[in-house]
Amino acid sequence: MAENLYGLLAEFDGPDELLKAAKDAYADGYRKMDAYSPMPIHDLSESMGYDKHRVPIIVLICALLGASSGFGLQYWVSVIDYPLNVGGRPLLSWPSFIPVTFELGVLFSAFGALIGMLILNGLPRPYHPVFNVPNFERASGDGFFLCIEAEDSKFDISETRAFLESLKAKKVDDVEP
């Protein structure tokens, strides 16, 4: 039974206690963990070592892709496929291509930001073991939880439980997988 646990879920009194517990757990060497709280807490994700942000680079790539495809589309249409003389202007009238280029850059970045964020977060996720803990729905009301996952190399069911209790957790629950 013990080998099959997803992890241990500790409940704390408030945001400050949760932040402190997350910092202590990180300092103690735990890495595979996650915190759950009803509202965003400043510095919480940074305190657990989530300091690499990969969404910006995805957005940048998408923006460049969008902008170049926007410009490329207009170039192909008005210079190669269907050249038209508009008031004697050159076929490659780049100033009038800029708005579409810009808009497609923005559109692709928005898609990149949303979809990239969802993929990196592993969403959508219809099943998550933490919901097996009866009290957990309070994470969207007044509950502050820290879950240390069994995958963590330092995880040991009794030691980790003792450690979480030493952090003044209100309650520590087993999380069924």
Partner 1 sequence: MATKSFNHPFVDKVQQRGLLAGACGVVLLFIVGFADSQQFFQSYLVSYIYWLVISLGCLGLLMLHHLVSGRWGFVIRRLLESGARTLWLMAVLFIPIALLGMHHLYEWTHADVVAKDPILTFKKPYLNETGFYIRAVVYFALWLLWMFLLTKWSREQDETGEPGLKRRMINLSGPGIPMFILTVTFAATDWVMSLEPHWFSTIYGLIFVIGGALGAMALCILWVIKLKDVEVYREVDAFKYLADLGTLMFAFTCLWAYVSFSQFLITWSGNLAEEAPWYIRRSHGGWQYVGTALIIFHFFLPFFLLLQRAIKRRAALMMVIAFFMLFMRYVDLYYFITPAFVHGGASGLYRYVADVLTFVSIGGLWLGFFAMQLKGVPLMPLHDPRMAETFAGEGH
Q: Which residue in 1, 80, 84, 87 binds partner 1 (CB under 8 A)?
A: 87
- Taking CB under 8 A as the criterion, which residues in 55-74 touch partner 1? 56, 60
Buried residues in 64-97 as b, exposed as e (16+ CB within 10 A): eebbeebbeebbeebeeeeeeeeeeeeeeeeeeb
As a whole number of angstroms, the distance between CA 98 and CA 102 comes to 6
Least spacing, CB of residue 119 vs partner 1, in Å: 21
Task: Give me the DSSP letters along 82-125.
Answer: S---STT--S--HHHHHHHHHHHHHHHHHHHHHHHHHHHTT-S-
Q: Which residue in 79, 91, 98, 115 binds partner 1 (CB under 8 A)?
A: 98
Our CB check for partner 1 shows the closer of 39 and 80 to be 39
Our CB check for partner 1 shows the closer of 89 and 168 to be 89
Our CB check for partner 1 shows the closer of 13 and 156 to be 13
Binding positions for partner 1, rule: CB under 8 A: 15, 39-42, 56, 60, 87, 89, 95-96, 98-99
